[in-house]
Homo-oligomer: A and B are copies of this chain.
Amino acid sequence: MQAGKPILYSYFRSSCSWRVRIALALKGIDYETIPVNLIKDQGQQLAIIEFLEETRPTPRLLPKDPKKRAQVRMISDTIASGIQPLQNLSVLKQVGQENQLAWAQKVIHTGFNALEQILRNTAGKYCVGDEVSMADLCLVPQVANAERFKVDLTPYPTISRINKTLLALEAFQVSHPCRQPDTPPELRA
């Protein structure tokens, strides 16, 4: 490992790790992955992204305009504080085996209803206008979670369209859970 190369403690399936992997790929930052099976705190990944943005500003993940930056953060926070924490593994364990799927579907539907409305006002090609932003880094991993929990995405055409557009980009592909060092063979693609 070369000196100064950043280390990402990552879990292939974690939507929070994936957000950071996309940011690293977009900014062209080479890093070592150390796989960990336990994600201790979900929130800290947005702090990493903001840190990357401040120390490696190109390409920018936050728009220059303060109002658009607020829109990006509002969308990111809606996902990172409003949806993801309510359907993560530790909560689902507490909810109990037989209620997990219904619980996860409900919190994702509630969140996606709000998100779809927001995106109708902010989206261009991506979540906010036509530039990839932190909001997009949060969207794609959350849609993947929704698919794992078999959420019907037909009520969310804007979410679905943006997700599809983003998944065509290289940074979202190399960072995908199916292509990580700790991805089990049966889940590789």
Contacts and interface: CB of A to CB of B under 8 A. Distances in A.
Contacts of A43: 74, 76-82
A91 interface: yes
A51 interface: yes
A109 interface: no
Most buried by B among A40, A77, A103: A77
A81 B78 contact: no
A interface, how many residues as a size bin? 35 or more
Contacts of A54: 66, 69
A47 interface: yes
Interface of A: 40-48, 50-51, 54-55, 66-67, 69-70, 73-74, 76-82, 84-86, 90-91, 94, 103, 106, 110, 114
Given A85-B86, A94-B103, A103-B94, A51 B80 contact: no
Contacts of A76: 43, 47
9 contacts: A43-B76, A46-B73, A47-B73, A50-B73, A51-B66, A85-B85, A86-B86, A86-B91, A94-B106
B78 A50 contact: no
A79 B47 CA distance: 12
Nearest to A72: B47
Contacts of A73: 46-47, 50-51
Contact of A40 (B50, B70, B81, B114): B114
